[in-house]
Amino acid sequence: MSLANTAAEYMLSDALLPDRRGPRLKGLRLELPLDRMVKFVAVGSPLLLMSLAFAQEFSSGSPISCFSPSNFSVRQAAYVDSSCWDSLVHHEQDKPGQYKMKSLWPYKALPYSLLALAMVMYLPVLLWQYAAAPALSSDLLFIISELDKSYNRSIRLVQHMLKIRQKSSDPHVFWDELEKARKERYFEFPLLERYLACKQRSHSLVATYLLRNALLLLFTSATYLYLGHFHLDVFFQEEFSCSIKTKLLSDETHIPDLITCRLTSLSVFQIVSLSSVAIYTLLVPVIVYNLTRLCRWDKRLLSIYEMLPAFDLLSRKMLGCPINDLNVILLFLRANISELISFSWLSVLCVLKDTTSQKHNIDTVVDFMTLLAGLEPTKPKHLTHQVCDEHP
């Protein structure tokens, strides 16, 4: 009998989780994996395309090539290129002697518009980091710590029960005390459950998360409008007619009214425009999916932690509308599942509980570990019959 008790003590000691009194969860993820992917793509792709535009400009030299008159010198031809690039206005003949002008400034503003787009797309990230991440970090630290502590308390409780059973000379006294403790709910530690229930009535985290994704959708729509209104208008404008007869040159008769110029960077402009549309079109379903995850509970995570005493949010049907801070916290608990050491143990116990649920009345980890330690989860039948015989 002592050998069996020693084995049970070793088993319970091994089931205890290591105490975390060192660095407190420095690897906490305060961004969901999909949100991080959206951030890298939404901010990084404009910067990558901007570097492509600058690389093309530095490698090919002048972004335009003007067909100057043959009697122009090299310096005059260079002046024509510089002047036409500075103005970047297409003169299209509307009526005899009248010209309709169209600005081609999106070509010149391409790298800077991409930089502005990257900065705008980073604003929702800054909003989350400064408005929600500090509070979320403290919530996760407390909840992860309490979940692991609650599991350890359950194991220590079974260890204590085993010691009391070994020291108790009368088994009736032990089982009577155990049943009384269960009726009085001594095994429950309701602090965490009440804290999570309070988070159902809080909406600061979920409001910030909704605002972050709404801003991403808004900025994406603004990007579509910008590309459609400005880029599409000049998307196929490879050549344009430039006028340099301004200021001191306005009365020069040997200078033609219009000079034809060609945009050498048109292919890069088209690639950047099409790439931007394709990238943000692919991001929209991901952002919408992130929002839809707030409309349902992660019941698998909750069902596993139902094994802990006083953690019965599901069985008591305490979950209401999922759009609250608790649902956001559950999403981040799932993302930080590697920090929850108790999760793997409870997952195994849940699987074992399902295989033995037809034979034993097992509700919590205390009941299951009591069974593994060699104690019946309920009062043995022979003791019950013995009590009935003594008190007919």
CA distance 369 to 322: 33
CA distance 175 to 316: 27
Helices 133-167, 171-183: inter-axial angle, 10-degree rounding: 160
Q: What three-state secondary structure class fits 105?
A: helix
CA distance 387 to 389: 5
pLDDT in tens, 295-346: 888 778 877 877 776 566 655 556 778 899 999 999 999 999 888 888 887 7
Answer left, alpha or beta for residue 311, where phi above 0 means left and psi between -120 and 50 means alpha.
beta
The gap from C-alpha 89 to its chain's centroid, in whole angstroms, comes to 45
CA distance 65 to 242: 11
The answer to whether 370 touches 380, Cβ cutoff 8 Å, is no
pTM of the model: 0.80
CA distance 256 to 141: 74
CA distance 205 to 199: 10
Amino acid 42: pLDDT:
95
- pLDDT exceeds cutoff 60 at 8: no
pLDDT in tens, 128-187: 999 999 999 999 988 888 888 877 777 777 666 666 666 666 555 555 665 655 554 545
Amino acid 284: pLDDT:
95
DSSP designation for 19: P
Cβ-based neighbours of 353, under 8 Å, separated by 6 or more: 307, 362, 368
**Which of 348, 374, 307 is CA-nearest to residue 6?**
374
CB atoms within 10 A of CB 204: 14
Amino acid 192: pLDDT:
78
Structure tokens at 82: 């510089």
Amino acid 2: pLDDT:
59
pLDDT in tens, 335-389: 998 888 888 877 877 776 666 654 555 656 555 555 555 555 555 554 444 444 4
The answer to whether 364 touches 154, Cβ cutoff 8 Å, is yes
In three-state form (DSSP H/G/I as H, E/B as E, the rest C), the secondary structure along 190-241 is CHHHHHHHHHCCCCHHHHHHHHHHHHHHHHHHHHHHHHHHHHHHHCCCCEEE
